[in-house]
Amino acid sequence: MHGRPRKDPRPKDDAAKAAHLRELQAQLLHNHRNRTYTKEALASCSKLLEINPEVYTAWNYRKLALQHNLDGVDDPDALKSAIEDELRVVEIALRTNPKSYAAWYHRKWVLSRRLMPVEFEREFRLLDLLLNADQRNFHGWNYRRFVAKLKNVPEEEELKFTKKMIDTNFSNYSAWHNRSALLSHLLKKKSQGFDSKKNTLTEEYELVHDALFTDQSDQSGWFYHLWLLDQTVCLDDPQLISSWPTHKSDLILSESNKIDGCQLFPSSNSRSFSLLHTGTFPIILYFNKAVKNIDSSTVIVSSVFVTNEDLNWRPLSTNNSGEACCWVTFLTVPEENCSSSTSYPVEVCLDRYKDIVSSDVSDCKIPSKFTFTVTFRSHSLEQTSKESVEENVVWKYVDICNPQESPCLMSFDQLSINEDHAEEGFKWNLQTLSNEIELFREFNDEDSKFVKLTLARLLVARDLMVPNGSHNHIKTHSGEVLTLYDDLMKLDPSHKRYYEDEQSVVLMDQLTSDKDSLTKHCWQFDEPTSSSFHCQYCLWLNELSLTRIGSVKNILWVQMLDLSHNKLRSVEGLEALQLLACLNLSNNQISSFTALEPLKLLSSLRVLDVSFNMIGAHAIDTTRYLCSSPLSHTLDAKQLNVGYEKENTEVRDHWEVTSLFRALRLTQLDIKGNAVLNEKFSVLAIELLPSLKWLDGKHVR
């Protein structure tokens, strides 16, 4: 550069090292292929691992060599010598790289075989040397947990060790993490001295305060405080927190052979839902955490319509894990019951509730039960004519709804399901949160994002801990929380998206948890008599800058939902709205069809507006790894072209569209304003949606 002679980018000694490394690698592969396990071959392998401990093939070779050389050997000295050699090789490799996954795994593998008694003093000495050199080496902490379990070291002793390490350095994140894991287990087992969660957590709050006030810029203590907050707020056991139909509600079904789907229309009774009868309607259970084992043996539905054993419960989740917060079954009503005006009672009871467990293996300890009635009546509607059924739905509103006349908002009277089982411990929880809020308000530093974020989380938690989960409680701290997240976005713009998501959840909870605030967002749909969808009320949540959907447990009754002109990138959560017939997602930031995967679980969805989003604007769909795709071998060309005589190129190229549209029964789709839209795509959409009548405002069938 600038007339200077170029230097050899690699000195001669580095070139010699590289040549030596290639030679050792070649020897390893030769010995591995020929199954040569001599002392010379193993010595050559050891030299390679001393230079580069990340050669996984070398460690696998040593495993095979050890198994081969010790096969049939009973001499204790020979066994000890072979094991010592392996452990020594690992120690030499760890000097080169103390964070080598392969080296640590090999050491675990050797000790797990129990070919000789483990010298635990040696292992703990090694750990002491390692953690003194780097107190936050998570490989070392992980290995310590392994050795402690192998030796059956009491968890109480390991807890004291974490305290010692934390006292030495408050910034030791690994020690805080290990402490949270140990305490979680001790509290779950109710071990001696840890049977009182209240006393244990109180001491932990005092411990973490010392760390936070010593150095508020260090993240370790803040993460531990977040764990403590979670322990304070979250109930240990799963509980039913919402349902549809709601407790003590009246479900009025009206006969209609023309309208497809459960459709809401006005009712003069403030405690009743009225639906157009199609033979089935959903029963929805919403829990405070993801659970499994919801079936006809754990949930008993008593009715004259169908035997409980014939009901099929399914989780409303796209992850195929068999666990979900929300579960649904569909109750089918025989035709003979439809002619009667009798009110039929239905009772839903969590019978074997202890068999309902969450992912953390905690079971449901509180029985839940709710009842509702089903009544049939003749209801003649002009809208059921063939012409009106094909009417295009236009998103226009005429007036805000009257809360006295709206049957939707009666959901706030529900879920007194568990009110007789409120925990007395909530008093301590509420007081602890109040104390923490007062402490951090005094500690609030205009330049500390950790203080502001923790204060926001505490305020949200305090609102969530209202006794009995009362829906009538106004979120008293919501305004302050929203302001804190505004401040955080300015103070820490690199994490703006996270703060926007958290702010959206708080805002939706504020709007949907109070009857008066939600009423302001329920609008009467324009010209309901000319629409095939007789939902006279639409929940209108547009232009709120929402980036994430939350609090769906409060709006399970919604059939028409307008989320247009927000910043949504996903529709996760909407799968719980099993009555949803019309959905407006126009003018958001949805970038792919895979982001709409939850809609596949909505059997009642007929109208979908995703116009003016960003679908097709990006060459790479970053959400694909979250769902089924040809790359995950869950879809193939034959599946994509089911129903076609020959392979369809457009279907194969738009596999995510095929997967989505094949699961929907839309009669109206608006997709204009997206980069993916072209003439071929429109033809494909019409082919994939045989029930489609309207595409971008044009009549197609």
pLDDT at res. 260: 53
Q: What is the mean pLDDT of the chain?
A: 82
The listed CATH number (3.80.10.10, 3.40.630.30, 1.10.3720.10, 3.30.420.60) that belongs to domain 515-699? 3.80.10.10
Q: Residue 418: what pLDDT? A: 45
pLDDT, residue 116, reads: 83
Percent over 70 (pLDDT), the chain: 78
Question: Where are the domain boundaries for CATH 1.25.40 in the chain?
Answer: 426-470+475-512
CATH 2.60.40, the chain: domain bounds: 240-379
Positive or negative CA dihedral for 280, 323, 190, 231? Answer: negative
Residue showing tokens 């330049």: 447
Range(s) of the chain covered by CATH 3.80.10.10: 515-699
| Residue 277 reports pLDDT greater than 60 | no
Rounded CA gap, 547 and 188, in Å?
Answer: 36
pLDDT confidence of residue 519: 83
Angle at which helix 426-443 crosses helix 197-214, to 10 degrees, equals 10
State both tokens at 264: 């809401």
What is the distance, to the nearest Å, from the Cα of residue 22 to the centroid of all Cα atoms in its chain? 46
The residue written with tokens 């949606």 in the block is 689
Q: What is the pLDDT of residues 335-345, one digit of tens each?
A: 776 666 778 89
pLDDT band at 526 (very low <50, low <70, confident <90, very high): low
pTM (2 decimals)?
Answer: 0.81
- The pLDDT of residue 637 is 46
pLDDT over threshold 80, residue 222? yes
Return the pLDDT at 318: 79
| Contacts (Cβ under 8 Å, ≥6 apart) of 306 | 331, 332
Residues 6+ apart with CB under 8 A from 496: 489
Count CA atoms closer than 13 A to 16's CA, side-chain side: 3
Q: Which residue has the higher pLDDT, 258 or 435?
A: 435
Contact by Cβ (8 Å): 140, 131: yes
Among 130, 225, 220, smallest CA distance to 170 is for 220
pLDDT in tens, 485-509: 999 999 999 999 999 999 999 999 9
Token pair recorded at residue 611: 């116009």
Radius of gyration of the chain (CA): 31
Per-residue pLDDT tens for 540-592?
Answer: 999 999 999 999 999 998 989 999 999 999 999 999 999 999 999 999 999 99
Q: What is the mean pLDDT of residues 325-342?
A: 81
Lowest mean pLDDT among 81-85, 423-427, 543-547, 639-643: 639-643
- In degrees, to the nearest 5, what angle opens at C-alpha 33 toward C-alphas 30 and 34? 85
- Residue 461 predicted with pLDDT over 60: yes
Tell me which of 131 and 45 has the higher pLDDT. 45
What confidence tens digit (pLDDT) does each residue in 75-96 have? 888 898 999 999 999 999 999 9
Tokens in use for 131? 């953690």
Q: What is the CATH number of domain 426-470+475-512?
A: 1.25.40
Whole-number Å distance between alpha carbons of 51 and 634: 41
The first and second tokens of residue 684, run together, are 């494909």
Kindly tell me the sign of the dihedral angle through the C-alpha atoms of 489, 493, 495, 500: positive
| 644 vs 86, higher pLDDT | 86
pLDDT tier at 412, thresholds 50, 70, 90: very low
Q: What is the pLDDT of residue 273?
A: 59
- Inter-CA distances, 340 with 85, 265, 333, 664, Å: 85, 20, 12, 33
Domain 240-379 has CATH 3.30.420: no
